[in-house]
Amino acid sequence: MTEIKGGVCAPKGFSAGGIRCGIKPSSSKKDLALIYSDKLCDAAAMFTKNIVKAASVQLTQKNIEGEKLRAIIANSGNANACTGEAGMDAAKRMVQSIANESQIDTSEVAVASTGVIGVPLPIDLIEKNVSVLKNSLRSDEQGHLDALEAIMTTDIRKKEIAVEIEINGVPVRIGAMAKGSGMIHPDMAAANNSAKHATMLAFVTTDAAVEKSALNSSLRNAVERSFNCTTVDGDTSTNDTIIIMANGEAANAPIATGSADYEVFSNALEFVCVSLAKMMARDGEGATKLVTVTVSGAKSEKDARIIAKSVASSSLVKAACFGADANWGRVLCAMGYSGVEFLPENVNVSFKSEAGEITVCENGGSVSFSEEKAKEILSKEEIEILISMKEGSAAASVWGCDLTYDYVKINGDYRS
Amino acid sequence: MTEIKGGVCAPKGFSAGGIRCGIKPSSSKKDLALIYSDKLCDAAAMFTKNIVKAASVQLTQKNIEGEKLRAIIANSGNANACTGEAGMDAAKRMVQSIANESQIDTSEVAVASTGVIGVPLPIDLIEKNVSVLKNSLRSDEQGHLDALEAIMTTDIRKKEIAVEIEINGVPVRIGAMAKGSGMIHPDMAAANNSAKHATMLAFVTTDAAVEKSALNSSLRNAVERSFNCTTVDGDTSTNDTIIIMANGEAANAPIATGSADYEVFSNALEFVCVSLAKMMARDGEGATKLVTVTVSGAKSEKDARIIAKSVASSSLVKAACFGADANWGRVLCAMGYSGVEFLPENVNVSFKSEAGEITVCENGGSVSFSEEKAKEILSKEEIEILISMKEGSAAASVWGCDLTYDYVKINGDYRS
């Protein structure tokens, strides 16, 4: 597997574009994006489990039932959530407008929105600019970058990746973009499940030929180990959406579940999703650090993930990371209220970064360690909290960030 | 019911005291407290459900099994949690020292600790000063205040209350003190349950004669509707403890479960616990506001409480309260990921304070409202988020606070 340029435009047969139609108050920021495939794609998606779902989520859940897509249209600056019937009408008109423009069926269009909740979507601005949007499509990296810029809200960093792998000697590509900085605590399920909401959007394209069931299971496994293992503020949004489109242009023999090809493809997709998830955590609102919590020696991967997410979500642990304070007691505390049963006396905790590694807790109790060294380790931009449990052999990692003054500042008055 | 002075010393037959023995780094702050009854009391207690429990919690859970107590000894500045066998040994010596000093059985002594986790408790300092502690006992309000001061950590405000009620014409008193400012998300269960942890301590005294079963159920109901409905930072501590001692000095006919007297006593105890819980939320680390979330029209009181706690715990809602930003979409979002099933289109939300009340969401959607008026309402020190659901007739309130720069500051380097 090699990383390549181009994002969602890297795989054959995909183009993308992004423009400003005027949804965002800022006078210059792009706010309308389109990802387009020359031919009809097999598609799979997952959505927030939040009971309160944006109109765009509800409509895309319906359109994805056919498991076929040609286009994804997305806007930033407005979540089109909690906007009643008018919101659903706006989502439908958004889909209709690009379907008409492209002369494709509305069922082949997915729609996504992100931004403030509860404000009516100015659909007229979108309809007025949809042909400009269509004409902005490019199959090169710039098209990808324009679309990516158009889905960003409080994001500071661009979240994108593309890889090339070989399926039976045939080169196959996977490209992706994501947005997400706040209201990030994804808990996504397949379209047919009841679904939650946290504003992260991720769009993945591939020119691989993949059987529908394989595409679905591969996506679920990747999301379970990536986005669903990420937290910024514990708030699961109303708009979380991840969509993958596979157009088969690479002309490989269709990938079937359980095959060796499936493993290769699934590992690559997981790598892509994990990479984006880590970028999201690192770019968490106000974050100064990426905090990776890894639990090993757990009874099951699920237990490990629940414990790691509890620690990564703890306001006290996050604040201690910000202060580079080796307050390991808060780590054990957060493990203890995770809901997973375990023996505290089996727990070891150490902190790690490029500055080194230091054990701060052994067998659930204190060990003498150098506060200065711990502070040096925790002062780096990427830190790890390593927890070992002696309860079993399962492990999992969760990606989060520190809690800072800027998080409070950004969210104290988000709408103005 | 009338509020009176005196705290835990208000009921007949109780005395209290507090001294400095040197656990806290500060050179002046009290850190060792004692609450004492002239005669043996019936007692009930509840403890954190955190798997990781302080040694003091584990020992008091054992001592409370006899449901009889004479004394509560408590220290601040050190949680005596995650300190292994040495921690349990220290807790036992703490109990032994005051038992010897008072010539009572160790099974009649409860012990509680609060402060930093994972640091060995300097038990020698406690043993050295235990006779000074015993001699500091006073049956007047000053004794209560000395003890209260000695259990405070990051608390800024004193949390205390005392009330007098009439049981069958006999005047009966209930007095209480509490501490708790950070690591506050209590989830307490009776001693025999498996238990979580969040550092809140509450000690209640009463001169009422109450049958054991009545004392237990009355405490459980009160805690369920007070401390377990309070959150500052979502972190359920390793030391949360509430203990009630009833010495029967009021000489009323013993209160039996289900009687009219039981209702009177239970309502008074609930009032006492709710009052302390609200003081705790208002005094949350860095908090500038008390935020009361009330859900009505829910299918069950449990559903209402889960939804209200989800909203009060949301970092985004808390930050919006700090910024006086009427971001009601975050309220619906937090309701939506609470885990309770409901119809968003049945939800109305309004904000209320001494400046007035304003409806910001009707039937799950936006309504036009004055942003200026909303800002004025949300700028007050005590604000309410009122949620109605049209799903049933149950209601519940949860008390929380805003998320501020100072919360981050206080917890960025708690130990120094």
Span B17-54, pLDDT tens digits: 999 999 998 778 999 999 999 999 999 999 998 989 99
Mean pLDDT of chain B: 93
At B190 the pLDDT is 65
Among B49, B50, B51, the strongest candidate for a mutation testing the A interface, having the largest count of A CBs within 10 A, is B51
Model pLDDT, residue A192: 37
Q: What are phi and psi of A54, to 5 degrees?
A: -65, 155
List chain A residues with pLDDT less than 50: 191-198, 416
The answer to whether A236 contacts B51, with C-beta atoms less than 8 Å apart, is no
At A234 the pLDDT is 82
Q: How many helices (H) and strands (E) does chain A have?
A: 11, 16
Contact list in B for residue A409 (CB cut-off 8 A) is: 405
pLDDT at res. A410: 86
**CB proximity B329 to A under 8 Å:** yes
B320 touches chain A (CB under 8 A): yes
pLDDT at A242: 96
Residues B341, A301, A392, A275: is their CA dihedral positive or negative? negative
Q: Could you report the predicted ipTM of this complex, rounded to two decimals?
A: 0.87
A133 against B413, higher pLDDT? A133
The residues of B that are catalytic are 199
- Rounded Cα gap, residues B176 and B7, in angstroms: 5
Q: Please tell me if residue B82 touches chain A, with a CB cutoff of 8 Å.
A: yes
Touching check for A414 and chain B: CB below 8 Å?
A: yes
pLDDT of amino acid B135? 98
Taking residue A203's Cβ as centre, other Cβ atoms within 10 Å add up to 28
| E-only strand ranges, A49-192 | 68-78, 109-116, 159-167, 170-179, 188-190
Q: How far, in Å, are A135, A327, B66, B303, B308 from residue B295 at the CA level? A: 49, 36, 39, 9, 6
Does residue B129 register a pLDDT over 50?
yes
- Amino acid identity of residue A132, one-letter, is V
- Report the alpha-carbon distance of residue A181 to residue A198 in Å, rounded: 10
Q: Note the pLDDT of residue A194.
A: 29
Which positions in chain B touch A185 (Cβ < 8 Å)?
337
Query: What pLDDT, in 10s, does the model give residues A290-301?
Result: 999 999 999 999
Kindly write down the DSSP assignment for every residue of B360-409, as one continuous string: EEETTEE----HHHHHHHHTSSEEEEEEE-SS-SEEEEEEEE---HHHHH
Hey, which residues 46-75 in chain A have their CB within 8 Å of chain B? 49-53
pLDDT the model gives residue B65? 94
Q: Does B117 touch chain A (CB under 8 A)?
A: yes
| Residue A84 confidence (pLDDT) | 87
What is the pLDDT averaged over residues B141-154? 96
Whether residue B365 and residue A87 make contact (CB cut-off 8 A), yes or no, is: yes
- pLDDT tens-digit map of A212-221: 999 999 999 9
User: How confident is the model over B65-89, as a mean pLDDT?
Assistant: 94
pLDDT score of B153 more than 80: yes
B287 has pLDDT over 50: yes
pLDDT bracket for residue B183 (50, 70, 90): confident
B interface test, pick of A48, A49, A50, A52 with most B CB neighbours within 10 Å? A52
Active site amino acids of A? 199
Residues 6+ apart with CB under 8 A from B283: B155, B156, B157, B159, B180, B181
